[in-house]
Structure 1
Amino acid sequence: MRGLLTILAYVLAFVTLTLGERIRYDGHQIWRVIPTSRIQLDFLGILKEESQKFQLDFWKEPSALHRPVVFKIPPSKRNEIYIRLGLQGLVPEVTLKDLQKNIEKEDALYTQKSFNGLENFDYSKYHPLSDVNAWMEQMANSYSNRVELFNISSSYEGRTITAMKITGANSSDSRPGFFFNGGIHAREWISPATVIYMAAQLIEQYGKNQEITDLLDEIDWYILPVFNVDGYEYTWTKDRNWRKTRSKHFLCHGVDPNRNWDWEWCKNGASKDPCSDTYCGPRPFSESEVKGVADFLNSVPGRFRAYIDFHSFSQLWMTPWGYTTALPPEFPVQDKCSTTATDALTAVHGTEYKHGNIASTIYTASGSSADWAFGAAKILYSTAVELRDTGEYGFLLPADQIIPSGEETLQGLLAMAKFILNNP
């Protein structure tokens, strides 16, 4: 019966989108609960397994005691889930009372939808993919001695995945490379926005800020603002809450691009259900977006000293492993780097970040980018970062936090780069 309900729900969604309408979330709320006992945690785990039955969308999965669990709930299920939580001694905190109203507020106040040149590009707003691409082209034209664009791959829907190479003086293939990307999960808008802000600072502050100048003269920076281009576009046109790619799988669309890497693929923390938000795909590297980035990172063995995958939300700075809580032998130096980065980040605005290995710090996830970059590509300083916030707004972080997020994360990035240069 559950399978039939799931299929009917996706058929309805397909019909709605075929008619050209955006998915609405009127009356949907975001709830947060904190399990304080093993019984409560196990109950939330069962609720997560039954999420399709109850039409719940877990924004922050149950993983450990005293760690918040955040999920979206439709109005039709509120009473039932409230009672079920109450029987376990859990009282939900409503962090967003009406998701649709927040989406409409975001659309009206927080986004810039037309590109009018670099001088008018508002870094304090969220931007659609067309503006991001136009901004990259203008940056490459205006700073042609320091910025070069290159194509990573093509997406499932045929969009070009464009990245930037930012350098200082005397760039060469013998210099260490530092690669970071945003937007691997489509709805995490603060990720591309923060990456764009940091890229702009690296470009524009060269020759003005000594720290940035020195690091660009020693490292070649490779930056991919929007990894999941199809999914990101879809969040602007059809469904603000979309997470995956847009490849087709029976009645469902998309693969989780952070479960599709060929390292401990589709084990703990990933799903084989094509309708799940953590669907690992029919095979490793089935998604052209993922395969393209992996091929690029492998193109010059030993070139890349660091890889960072920027996500949201939770305020975490993490290193492998994600597929297991077991620690690699290199974890002490990796975590020391994370400590250096988060200390520098916190010093800017006081924002507190936790650090550690992925599986113990957030949850178990197999087939992830950070695990593959470390395990297969041999990039020692492979990192997954969860940006602001800790759950108050989640994926709908107001745009007035973009600049503060960019400022603090940039300092973490620079501190990390200096640590890596001193600890090869």
Structure 2
Amino acid sequence: MRIIVLGIVFVLVCESQQISYTGSEVWRMTPRNAAELKNIEKIGEKHVLDFWKEPTAPGRQVDFLVKPDLKEKIESELKSIGYDFTVFIPDVQDLIDQENQRQSNVKRVTPESVLEFDYSVYHPAEEVYEWIDLVANEFSSFTTKHQFGITYEGRPLYLLEFNKGSASPTKPIIFIDALIHCREWISMASLLFIFKEMLTNSEYQHMMDDVHWYFVPMINIDGYIETWNGDRLWRKTMSTGPSSLCAGTDANRNWDANWSGEGASGFPCMYTYYGPTPASESEVRHLSNFVLSLGDSVIDAYISTHSYSQLILYPFGYSVDDAPDADVLNVTGKLMHDAIDAVHGMYYTWGSTAQVLYVASGATTDWTYDVANVTLTYTYELRDTGRYGFLLPANQIIPNGEEYLAGIEALKQYVMENQDDLMLQNADYSHMLDEADWYFIPMINIDGYIKTWEEDRLWRKTVHPGASSACDGVDANRNFDAKWSMPGASPHPCSFSYYGPTPASESEVRNLASYVLGFGRGNISAYLTVHSYSQLILYPYGFTAEEIPEYDFVDETAKRMHDAIKAVHGKEYIYGPSSTTIYVTSGTTQDWAYDQAGVTLTYTYELRDTGNYGFILPADQIMPQGEEFLAGMEELKKVVLENWQS
């Protein structure tokens, strides 16, 4: 007998029920002292109040939602301990109804371009997905749509990457997210407008040209759909843990940054529930994995977008202690504040989260600062200051977007001006800028550098074609007027060490030499020219084995730099004259700086490695290489100060 087993799958479909807030009010009070603050916190925990503005400190306003069945009880408790309050929003459902009426009056059409999309209204998730596709298709030459994960309920998580592919590999990266708290609709709506402006408005073209952007329009998509179909004021994710009494986790308390600490709750029904484990939420886990996949310290700035209160916040949230980069964060915060204020006169308070707002553990920006090593990391709390709270009317989307865009533009400008400047941003090295005047040329052979990105990764020379050259380019480090055309350089135009038709024939060499000589002979204390690879510290001469008069002093300084470098990561740098340490070379920067510009302490650094990767050094070695090179530079600065005017 043949037995057939029929597997029948029953699918339970749970449709969201519209939650009514009829009779619900938002109350505002201001605790006068620490005891009052503690009492309002206890009342909140007792009744599982939805704090729209958390109890943070005496003298700071607290907003909380009071449902009809709790009004009498909470009012009695507050009055019994002598607390005053005002009804700030008398009917929450009325605001929701007004919002729904405005939304229902909107004629929904399928836009055919980014410009046709309506930025003056809020959009449900399916229309935001459509916007993502519009952008990715319309600007496909420099836009990539990434699916970086799925939500708890199985929806795709998308982000947009914008990189116009300029020749510079050092374009700063700015990462912006929105809607981790799903009831904060303005956070995402304002950014759709902002990125439209950056993509289509020539006034903001520089932002797309100069920066490599990542934009996550919706993190908490499941929750966002719930705010449209069920509970307009839902805040958390939609996950359900095996032992949870209530659904959802506060995704902005779920990051692995002092997770489960102060300012987050272990009770599943609380609005600030931190979840069963760090990054338990699919949305948080996938986003953190993507951010880390970009590499350590690769992102130059990160903004996580929220509402409301008009704040620009930075780390720490989990501690009132200042972050190591508090000075830089504060300066940049003020720059953004000033830019925002200039648009519509809106005042955004700036400062650390714990000091300005409240202590909050497990938040995005503390994680990006501590774990992803993003120095410039901010939480924006957009409009307003409480009149509408999370129910900001749609007619404020564009003006809020305009001022937020001004803030982002100010951040972008700061990043461009200060990118990768460790001495400017790290207090440990501020003495280097305080005690010496520095001149830094990031790129001499720019034309050749662009060629290594666009055509030939191993191109070495300039790209200038000579009148009779069979091949393009000159070895710029054989073109200086220091024993030019002597041994160690080639007369053949196709050679990698071709010295060029005349000394300083190359525009780059000629202009640099002219600039350096403008300081006057002997007025530069030290000169470094930086190369790779081989891990060497070289000094004159390159064109002869004869020792320079200051050999002992220059050699001892090289040894001190070697020792400082080795103490960082254990890397051994050989030091000595170029001619005897590697090979004879003529027409080089260091010999010219020594002979013509009169710089005694002149060195050629050959950075990592010793040949395993050669000129194709992996990017994950940039930071450790920089750390050890910085140690060598620091030691050189000490030598200069010890011997200055001696």
How far, CA to CA, are the matches of 2:346 and 2:267 in structure 1? 37
How far, CA to CA, are the matches of 2:47 and 2:331 in structure 1? 37
Map of 1:134 onto structure 2:
130
- 1:402–1:20 Cα change, 3 Å: closer
Map of 2:604 onto structure 1:
none
The answer to whether 1:99 aligns with 2:92 is: yes
Map of 2:309 onto structure 1:
314
1:167 positional shift: 2.9
Map of 1:11 onto structure 2:
none
Q: Which amino acid aligns with 1:246?
A: M
Task: Indicate the RMSD between aligned Cα atoms, in angstroms.
Answer: 1.8
Map of 2:603 onto structure 1:
none
Matches within 5 A, 1:274-293: 274-293=268-287
Map of 1:333 onto structure 2:
328
The answer to whether 1:28 aligns with 2:21 is: no
How far, CA to CA, are the matches of 1:172 and 1:152 in structure 2? 26
SS of residue paired to 1:59? strand
Map of 1:420 onto structure 2:
415
SS of residue paired to 2:208? helix
- 1:423–1:89 Cα change, 3 Å: farther
Alignment counterpart, residue 70 of structure 2, candidates 74, 77, 84: 77
Equivalent residues of 2:119, 2:398 under 8 A apart: yes
- 1:242–1:36 Cα change, 3 Å: same
Map of 1:41 onto structure 2:
37
How far, CA to CA, are the matches of 2:374 and 2:328 in structure 1? 13
Equivalent residues of 2:238, 2:248 under 8 A apart: yes
Q: Which amino acid aligns with 1:239?
A: D
TM-score, normalised via structure 1 length: 0.90
- Tell me the alpha carbon deviations over residues 376-397 of structure 1, each in whole angstroms, 9 at most, x when there is no partner: 0000001111111111111111
Q: Which amino acid aligns with 2:209?
A: D
The answer to whether 1:253 aligns with 2:255 is: no
The answer to whether 1:229 aligns with 2:212 is: no
Map of 2:288 onto structure 1:
294
Question: Once structures 1 and 2 are overlaid, which stretch shifts more, 411-420 or 297-306?
Answer: 297-306
Q: Which amino acid aligns with 2:263?
A: G
Map of 2:195 onto structure 1:
199
Alignment length, in residue pairs? 401
Equivalent residues of 2:198, 2:207 under 8 A apart: no
SS of residue paired to 2:390? helix
Q: Which amino acid aligns with 2:47?
A: S
1:142 positional shift: 1.7
How far, CA to CA, are the matches of 2:89 and 2:219 in structure 1? 28
Equivalent residues of 1:174, 1:303 under 8 A apart: no
1:414 positional shift: 0.4
How far, CA to CA, are the matches of 1:145 and 1:102 in structure 2? 42
Equivalent residues of 1:113, 1:131 under 8 A apart: no
How far, CA to CA, are the matches of 2:327 and 2:133 in structure 1? 40
Map of 2:615 onto structure 1:
none
1:187 positional shift: 0.5
The answer to whether 1:362 aligns with 2:357 is: yes
Map of 1:214 onto structure 2:
206
Equivalent residues of 1:313, 1:388 under 8 A apart: yes
Q: Which amino acid aligns with 1:357?
A: S
How far, CA to CA, are the matches of 1:251 and 1:147 in structure 2? 43
TM-score, normalised via structure 2 length: 0.60
Equivalent residues of 2:190, 2:400 under 8 A apart: yes
Alignment counterpart, residue 241 of structure 1, candidates 233, 238, 247: 233
How far, CA to CA, are the matches of 1:242 and 1:173 in structure 2? 42
1:20 positional shift: 4.6
Q: Which amino acid aligns with 1:253?
A: A
- Tell me the alpha carbon deviations over residues 292-311 of structure 1, each in whole angstroms, 9 at most, x when there is no partner: 11111111213210110000
- Tell me the alpha carbon deviations over residues 87-130 of structure 1, each in whole angstroms, 9 at most, x when there is no partner: 34433222222212211211110465845114542211111000
How far, CA to CA, are the matches of 2:107 and 2:59 in structure 1? 40
1:45 positional shift: 1.8
Map of 1:373 onto structure 2:
368
Map of 1:8 onto structure 2:
none
How far, CA to CA, are the matches of 1:152 and 1:413 in structure 2? 24
Equivalent residues of 1:266, 1:280 under 8 A apart: yes
How far, CA to CA, are the matches of 2:279 and 2:247 in structure 1? 16
Q: Which amino acid aligns with 1:75?
A: P
Provide the identity percentage.
Answer: 38
Map of 1:58 onto structure 2:
51
Equivalent residues of 2:184, 2:390 under 8 A apart: yes
SS of residue paired to 1:153? strand
Task: Name stretches of at least 5 consecutive residues in structure 1 with no aligned partner.
Answer: 1-16
Matches within 5 A, 1:161-176: 161-170=157-166, 174-176=170-172
The answer to whether 1:263 aligns with 2:257 is: yes
Equivalent residues of 1:113, 1:127 under 8 A apart: no
How far, CA to CA, are the matches of 1:300 and 1:20 in structure 2? 37
SS of residue paired to 1:168? coil
Equivalent residues of 1:29, 1:74 under 8 A apart: yes
Map of 1:145 onto structure 2:
141
- 1:357–1:19 Cα change, 3 Å: closer
- Tell me the alpha carbon deviations over residues 274-305 of structure 1, each in whole angstroms, 9 at most, x when there is no partner: 22111111111111111111111111213210
Task: Name stretches of at least 5 consecutive residues in structure 2 with no aligned partner.
Answer: 1-12, 420-646
How far, CA to CA, are the matches of 1:46 and 1:39 in structure 2? 11
Equivalent residues of 1:168, 1:213 under 8 A apart: no
Equivalent residues of 2:199, 2:205 under 8 A apart: no
Map of 1:4 onto structure 2:
none
How far, CA to CA, are the matches of 1:135 and 1:115 in structure 2? 12
Equivalent residues of 1:110, 1:398 under 8 A apart: no
- 1:333–1:20 Cα change, 3 Å: closer
SS of residue paired to 1:364? coil
1:166 positional shift: 2.0
SS of residue paired to 2:381? strand
